[in-house]
């Protein structure tokens, strides 16, 4: 398979009576000249890295090298005990996303999913489903395969780099990948996964990349938290039978066009957006000096 169309992957999976992950796992094994078990084990290792990053990231003493971020995941985990406005499960999921993103800022080992700047969204969803007892480990691993397949299409037909397409290409893609994974975890069809992917993309389309001080911390970490909320929302809509009126592959094409139209100041250069606010400039000086 060429991974140039999410709808094409879904159509092939449904014609064969398979999940997206089963279809893709078999194809990747063939392309990589490995057994299915070897490819599965590689993805299982990535899941373990995600789980370890969550565990390390909730340390209340964790701080980034710059000193700008850290400790917020622990605050969220504590707050989740009260139930929170959005419920304890979603609050803990957000906490896990923040934990991984904060661990990344502290130079910890993460899975780029699809990038280091968007590394918290997929663990915030799939790892949460696993840790909360809502799925088994095998299902979580296979969900990551589905997420990866969606990400490969986005990477080929648009982009996943903030320097090329803005944060919509990073956190937007991550939310779309996570939404598709969640639909499969809940027993949804490949077509429903495609709708979830599209709706997640639409909800982050146009998001700029404006890292304060040029670091993957502010506002990147909190955008991972937002990506988790969008992924769950998109998955729930798709599972309820809500469809994206704009097909997923057209959403990907639109994202690419929006990224091309963005000014360079809004694509990871730290020359626009939040990076050039008075506080953003003050924080830059705090880290690097005048």
Q: pLDDT tens-digit profile of 251-271?
A: 999 999 999 999 999 999 999
Average pLDDT, the chain: 98
Neighbours of 44 (CB within 10 A): 16
- Residue 17 has what pLDDT? 97
The average pLDDT across 113-123 equals 98
- The residue among 144, 116, 182 whose CA lies nearest residue 45 is 144
Answering whether pTM is above 0.95, one says: yes
Provide the angle, in degrees to the nearest 10, between the axes of the packed helices 137-157 and 248-261.
Answer: 50
Query: Is 211:218 a contact under the CB 8 Å cutoff?
Result: yes
Collapsing DSSP to helix, strand or coil, 60 comes out as coil
Taking 90 as the threshold, does the pLDDT of residue 9 lie above it? yes
- Residue 290 has what pLDDT? 84
Q: Verify cis geometry, omega within 30 degrees of 0, for the bond prior to 219.
A: yes
- Residue 164 has what pLDDT? 97
Question: What one-character DSSP code corresponds to residue 94?
Answer: H
Query: Is 57:98 a contact under the CB 8 Å cutoff?
Result: yes
Question: What one-character DSSP code corresponds to residue 125?
Answer: I
- Residue 105 has what pLDDT? 98
In sequence order, which residues have a C-beta less than 8 Å from that of residue 3 and are 6 or more positions away? Answer: 9, 149, 152, 153, 156
The average pLDDT across 87-98 equals 98
Question: What one-character DSSP code corresponds to residue 215?
Answer: -
- Residue 32 has what pLDDT? 97
The average pLDDT across 69-96 equals 97
- Residue 140 has what pLDDT? 98
**Cα dihedral sign, 47-152-95-128:** negative
Taking 90 as the threshold, does the pLDDT of residue 167 lie above it? yes
**Cα dihedral sign, 49-22-97-105:** positive
Neighbours of 22 (CB within 10 A): 17
pLDDT band at 188; cut points 50, 70, 90 = very high
The average pLDDT across 82-98 equals 97
- In angstroms, rounded to a whole number, what is the distance separating the alpha carbons of residues 221 and 215? 11
Residue with tokens 């700029």: 208
**Torsion angle of alpha carbons 193, 116, 37, 188, nearest 10°?**
-10
Residue with tokens 């691993």: 141
């Amino acid at each position: 398979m060429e991974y140039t169309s999410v709808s094409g992957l879904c159509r092939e999976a449904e014609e064969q009576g398979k999940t997206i992950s089963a279809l893709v796992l078999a194809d990747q094994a063939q392309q990589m000249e490995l057994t299915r078990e070897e490819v599965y084990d590689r993805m299982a290792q990535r899941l373990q890295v995600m789980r370890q990053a969550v565990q390390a990231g909730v340390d209340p003493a964790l701080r980034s090298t710059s000193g700008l971020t850290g400790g917020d995941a622990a605050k969220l985990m504590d707050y989740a005990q009260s139930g929170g406005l959005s419920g304890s499960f979603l609050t803990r999921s957000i906490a896990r996303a923040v934990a991984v993103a904060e661990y990344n800022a502290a130079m910890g080992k993460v899975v780029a999913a699809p990038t280091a700047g968007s590394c918290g969204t997929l663990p915030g969803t799939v790892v949460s489903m696993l840790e909360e007892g809502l799925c088994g480990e095998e299902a979580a691993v296979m969900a990551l395969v589905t997420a990866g397949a969606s990400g490969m299409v986005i990477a080929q037909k648009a982009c996943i780099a903030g320097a090329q397409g803005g944060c919509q290409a990073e956190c937007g893609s991550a939310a779309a990948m996570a939404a598709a994974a969640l639909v499969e975890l809940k027993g949804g069809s490949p077509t429903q996964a495609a709708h979830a992917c599209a709706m997640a993309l639409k909800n982050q389309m146009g998001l700029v990349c404006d890292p304060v001080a040029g670091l993957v911390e502010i506002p990147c970490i909190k955008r991972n938290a937002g990506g988790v909320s969008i992924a769950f929302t998109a998955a729930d809509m798709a599972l309820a039978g809500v469809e994206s009126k704009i097909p997923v592959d057209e959403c990907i094409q639109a994202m690419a066009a929006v990224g091309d139209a963005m000014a360079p100041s809004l694509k990871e250069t730290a020359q626009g957006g939040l990076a050039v606010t008075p506080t953003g400039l003050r924080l830059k000086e705090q880290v690097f000096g005048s």
